[in-house]
Amino acid sequence: MSKVLWSPWRHDYIKSFSEGMVRECLFCRLAQLSDDYAYILYRGNKAYVVLNAYPYNSGHLMIAPYRHVASIDELDDEELIEVAKLVRLCINVLKKALKPDGLNIGVNIGRAAGAGVEGHVHVHVVPRWIGDSNFMPITSGYKPLPIALTETYGLLKEEFKGKSFNSISKLKAS
Ligand SMILES: [Zn+2]
């Protein structure tokens, strides 16, 4: 018997941002919410990792700086380094937890480039599997996406637990 973890009101709340119904910035607001509510997987000093509630693929992660800036060239060195380290951490976690055949990493800057949230820069990390972009390797049989999303969150959260975005290079050095 699985627990009921799916909260439609939470989903609607996040959706209202992406549809432009709320004037507040989605990424600024998410950072202020609790991890479970906002699907936040990891909080660094300058940036955080959140699971996309409207994923292109299962395990679609986004990395955003806490500071509200529109583009990568507006990040200071510390923010830029941390975002890059979090990209590395996300790749590491996704490879371990979801075993994708590949990954897409990208940043959309400006509406013409397809940015869903224009004012606040964020990096997409999307795991990919050969043959089927909708393949969900962690579920057996059909499950509605919302449940898969919550399961994915739980699985990835466990993998992120206790990890430091600095830890990978340290582990390799030891
Ligand atoms: Zn913002």
Within-domain flag for 129: yes
Within-domain flag for 155: yes
Within-domain flag for 100: yes
Residue with the two structure tokens 């509605």: 144
Q: What is the CATH number of the domain that holds 33?
A: 3.30.428.10
Within-domain flag for 2: no
CA–CA distance, 24 with 33 (Å, rounded to integer): 13
User: Averaged in consecutive runs of 10 residues, what is the pLDDT profile of the chain (174 residues)?
Assistant: 46 60 83 95 96 85 96 96 96 94 91 83 91 49 59 93 70 46
Within-domain flag for 15: yes
- CB distance 120 to 28 below 8 Å: yes
Ligand 1 centroid vs 150 CA: distance in angstroms? 24
Ligand 1 centroid vs 39 CA: distance in angstroms? 17
At 174 the pLDDT is 41
At 148 the pLDDT is 79
At 95 the pLDDT is 94
Distances (CA, A) of 118 to 25, 38, 71, 155: 9, 19, 9, 29
Residue with the two structure tokens 């371990």: 96
Catalytic residue among 11, 60, 120, 122: 122
Range of the domain at 48: 8-167
Within-domain flag for 112: yes
Within-domain flag for 75: yes
The SS3 call for residue 105 is strand
The SS3 call for residue 127 is strand
Within-domain flag for 174: no
Our count of domains for the chain comes to 1
Q: Is 122 a catalytic residue?
A: yes
Ligand 1 centroid vs 18 CA: distance in angstroms? 12
Secondary structure, 3-state, 8-49: HHHHHHHHHHHCCCCCCCHHHHHHHCCHHHHCEEEECCCEEE
Amino acid 85 reads K
Secondary structure, 3-state, 139-153: CCCCCCHHHHHHHHH
- Residues around the ion ligand 1 (C-beta < 5 A): 25, 27-28, 68, 120
Distances (CA, A) of 16 to 13, 39, 56, 85, 120: 5, 16, 18, 30, 16
Ligand 1 centroid vs 121 CA: distance in angstroms? 8
